[in-house]
C-alpha cells in the first residue's frame, strides 16, 4: 500500500452516538467524507457510496467489540479498499483491506494496524495477516468483520466460515468505523452496518501461532527521531553529537518485530537509533541475523560496519520490502560491553527492526 490512507485527512469532532442494526443510510448527513472523489449513486442495482482516494467515517459511530458488515465492488485495476475500525484519530486505528489486483494470490488482502500515521504491512505479512482470495470484478463482494478483545474473524464472501483470524496489534479501545479507498481508482460501497456489542463469539483460531526464535532481541532502546541525512558520511559516531536525543524502551512482539511507529511518527524525522548492549565473556565473533524496514546503518562500538536497503522495489520490481531475518552480520565482539546501534529509516509501509543471535554462548543482552 503506497501511502497511509489517513495521512492527509483531517477529521472533525463528531457528536452523538449511533448504534446501527440496519445499514447506515447513504447520504451526507450520516457520513463524514474526505476524499478526492465521492458521491452517492445507484450502482449495480442498489444505492451506493462512490469513493475515490480517501475515507468515509460514520458520523458519531462508537465501536469497540462487535460486527461490521458491508458490500464492496471494484474493477481489476490496482487498488486498496476496505474498512477502518476502532479509529481513535486519523493516525491511529485498525484496518482491513482488499487488494483487487492481487486476486487469487497470497496477499490478496491485508490486516494492518496504524500507529502514529504509519502503515505496517511490511511488518505484518503472510499467514495470519492475509489469505488467498479470488475476487469478481464489478460485482458486490460481502465482507464481515467480527471483533472481540484482541482478536477478529474476517469473512470474505462466505459468511459461514471466517477466511482469516487476526490477532490485533493495537490495544483494545473504543473508536469510530468507516470505509476507505486508497488510490485514485474508485470503489463502491453498499449496505454498511455495524453493531457495537459485548461477548462476541469468534469462530476462528490461530492456524500457526507466532513464536519467538531463541536468541531473539526482545527489548530495545529507541531514540527520538531525526533526519536520515545527519548520518551521511558518519563512519564513526561521536556520541556527544547525539546527546540531545531522548530514549524510550520498546518491546518486540511475539514474532520478534519491534514496531518503531508505536513510539512516534515522522514529524521530526524519518530515522531513529535502536540500540542494545551485548556483554561478552570473551573476545569472539558472533553471528546475528536481522531485518529492518526500510533502511539501516549498523554501528558497533561507534564504528559503521553495515548499511542496507530494504525499500519497496529495491531488489526487483516485485519486492515489497517485508521484514524478516534475511540479513546477517558477524559481529567482532570484545570481552566486556559492546554497544550496538542500528539507525533505522522509514520510507513507507512499516517502520521496524528485528534481530536474533545464532546462540547466546558467552553473551548476555543487557535490558
Among 196, 231, 251, where does a domain finish? 196
- Give the pLDDT confidence score for residue 209 in this predicted structure: 66
Does residue 285 fall inside a structural domain? yes
Q: For residue 25, give Cα distances in angstroms to 28, 45, 142, 303.
A: 9, 16, 17, 61
Q: Are 67 and 128 within one domain?
A: yes
Query: Is the domain of 264 the same as that of 152?
Result: no
Q: What is the pLDDT of residue 193?
A: 97
Q: What is the average per-residue pLDDT within 97-125?
A: 97
Return the bridge partners of 344, or none. Answer: 272, 296
Are the C-beta atoms of residues 116 and 91 closer than 8 Å to each other? yes
> Residue 13 contacts by C-beta under 8 Å, 6 or more apart in sequence?
none
Q: Is the peptide bond before 294 cis (omega within 30 degrees of 0)?
A: yes
Residue 5 falls inside a structural domain:
no
Residue pair 186/106 in contact (Cβ under 8 Å)? The answer is: no
> Is 4 a domain residue?
no
Same domain, yes or no: 179 and 304: no
Whether residues 91 and 188 share a domain: the answer is: yes
Distance CA 31, CA 15 (A): 12
- Name which of 142-151, 186-195, 310-319 the model is least confident about: 310-319
Has residue 210 been placed in a domain? no
Per-residue model confidence (pLDDT) at position 338: 98
Q: What is the pLDDT of residues 28-56, one digit of tens each?
A: 999 999 999 999 999 999 999 999 999 99
d(CA 54, CA 180): 6
276 and 353 in a common domain = yes
| Residue where a domain stops, chosen among 141, 163, 196 | 196
DSSP states of 43-59: ETTEEEEEEEEEEEEET
Q: Which of 180, 181, 155, 186 is nearest to 75 (CA)?
A: 186
CATH of the domain at 83: 2.60.120.560
Please check whether residues 148 and 66 belong to one and the same domain: yes
Dist. CA 75–CA 279, nearest whole Å = 56
- Asked whether 245 and 204 are in contact (CB, 8 A), the reply is no
- 315: which residues sit within 8 A by CB, 6+ positions away? none
The span from the CA of 166 to the CA of 255, in Å, is 14
Same domain for 182 and 317?
A: no
- In this prediction, residue 96 carries a pLDDT of 98
239 phi and psi, to 5 degrees?
A: -60, -25
Q: pLDDT of 70-98, one tens digit each?
A: 999 999 999 999 999 999 988 999 999 99
Domain encompassing residue 118: 31-196
Whether residues 223 and 191 fall in one domain: no
- Altogether, the residues listed in the chain come to a count of 367
pLDDT in tens, 138-186: 999 999 999 999 999 999 999 999 999 999 999 999 999 999 999 999 9
Nearest to residue 343, comparing CAs of 313, 311, 308? 308
| Highest mean pLDDT pick, 18-22, 251-255, 283-287, 315-319 | 283-287
Whole-model pTM over 0.85: yes
* Terminal C-alpha separation, the chain: 35
How far apart CA 71 and CA 82 sit, in angstroms, is 10
Cα Rg for the chain, rounded, in angstroms? 22
* Three cell numbers, residue 185: 481508482
Question: How many domains does the chain fold into?
Answer: 2
Question: How confident is the model over 112-124, as a mean pLDDT?
Answer: 97
CB neighbour list of residue 147: distance below 8 Å, 6 or more residues apart: 63, 64, 65, 66, 67, 68, 85, 86, 168, 200
Angle, vertex CA 8, rays to CA 4 and CA 10, nearest 5: 120
On whether both 160 and 268 belong to a single domain, the answer is: no
Quote the cell numbers at residue 166: 487476526
pLDDT of residue 21: 62
With beta carbons less than 8 A apart as the criterion, state whether 78 and 101 touch.
yes
CATH code at 324? Answer: 2.60.120
Same domain, 166 and 240: no
Is the residue at 213 inside a domain?
Answer: no
Instruction: Give yes or no: residues 232 and 149 share one domain.
Output: no
- In-domain check, residue 256: yes
Amino acid at each position: 500500500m503506497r501511502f497511509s490512507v489517513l495521512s492527509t485527512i483531517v477529521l472533525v469532532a463528531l457528536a452523538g452516538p449511533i448504534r446501527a442494526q440496519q445499514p447506515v443510510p447513504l447520504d451526507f448527513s450520516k457520513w463524514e467524507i474526505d476524499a478526492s472523489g465521492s458521491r452517492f449513486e445507484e450502482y449495480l442495482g442498489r444505492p451506493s457510496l462512490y469513493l475515490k482516494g480517501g475515507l468515509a467515517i460514520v458520523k458519531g459511530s462508537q465501536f469497540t467489540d462487535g460486527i461490521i458488515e458491508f458490500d464492496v465492488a471494484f474493477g481489476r485495476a490496482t487498488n486498496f479498499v476496505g474498512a477502518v475500525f476502532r479509529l481513535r484519530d486519523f493516525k491511529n486505528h485498525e484496518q482491513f483491506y482488499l487488494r483487487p489486483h492481487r486476486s487469487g494470490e497470497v496477499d490478496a488482502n491485508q490486516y494492518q494496524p496504524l500507529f502514529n500515521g504509519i502503515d505496517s504491512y511490511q511488518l505484518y505479512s503472510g499467514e495470519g495477516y492475509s489469505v488467498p482470495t479470488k475476487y469478481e470484478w464489478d460485482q458486490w463482494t460481502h465482507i464481515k468483520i467480527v471483533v472481540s478483545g484482541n482478536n477478529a474473524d474476517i469473512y470474505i464472501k462466505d459468511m459461514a466460515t471466517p477466511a482469516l483470524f487476526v490477532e490485533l496489534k493495537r490495544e483494545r479501545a473504543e473508536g469510530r468505523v468507516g470505509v476507505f479507498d486508497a488510490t485514485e481508482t474508485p470503489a463502491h460501497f453498499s449496505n454498511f452496518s455495524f453493531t457495537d456489542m459485548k461477548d462476541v463469539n469468534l469462530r476462528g483460531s490461530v492456524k500457526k501461532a507466532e513464536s519467538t526464535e531463541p536468541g531473539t532481541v526482545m527489548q530495545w532502546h529507541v531514540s527520538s527521531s531525526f533526519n536520515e541525512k545527519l548520518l551521511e558520511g558518519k563512519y564513526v559516531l561521536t556520541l556527544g553529537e547525539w546527546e540531545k536525543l531522548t530514549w524510550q524502551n520498546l518491546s518486540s512482539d511475539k514474532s520478534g518485530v519491534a514496531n518503531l511507529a508505536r513510539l512516534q511518527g515522522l514529524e521530526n524525522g524519518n530515522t531513529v537509533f535502536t540500540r542494545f548492549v551485548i556483554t561478552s565473556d570473551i573476545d569472539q565473533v558472533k553471528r546475528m541475523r536481522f531485518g529492518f524496514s526500510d533502511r539501516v546503518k549498523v554501528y558497533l562500538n561507534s564504528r559503521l560496519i553495515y548499511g542496507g536497503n530494504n525499500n519497496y522495489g529495491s531488489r526487483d520490481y516485485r519486492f515489497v520490502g517485508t521484514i524478516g531475518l534475511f540479513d546477517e552480520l558477524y559481529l567482532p565482539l570484545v570481552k566486556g560491553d559492546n554497544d550496538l546501534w542500528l539507525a533505522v529509516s522509514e520510507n513507507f509501509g512499516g517502520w521496524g527492526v528485528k534481530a536474533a543471535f545464532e546462540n547466546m554462548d558467552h553473551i548476555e543482552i543487557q535490558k
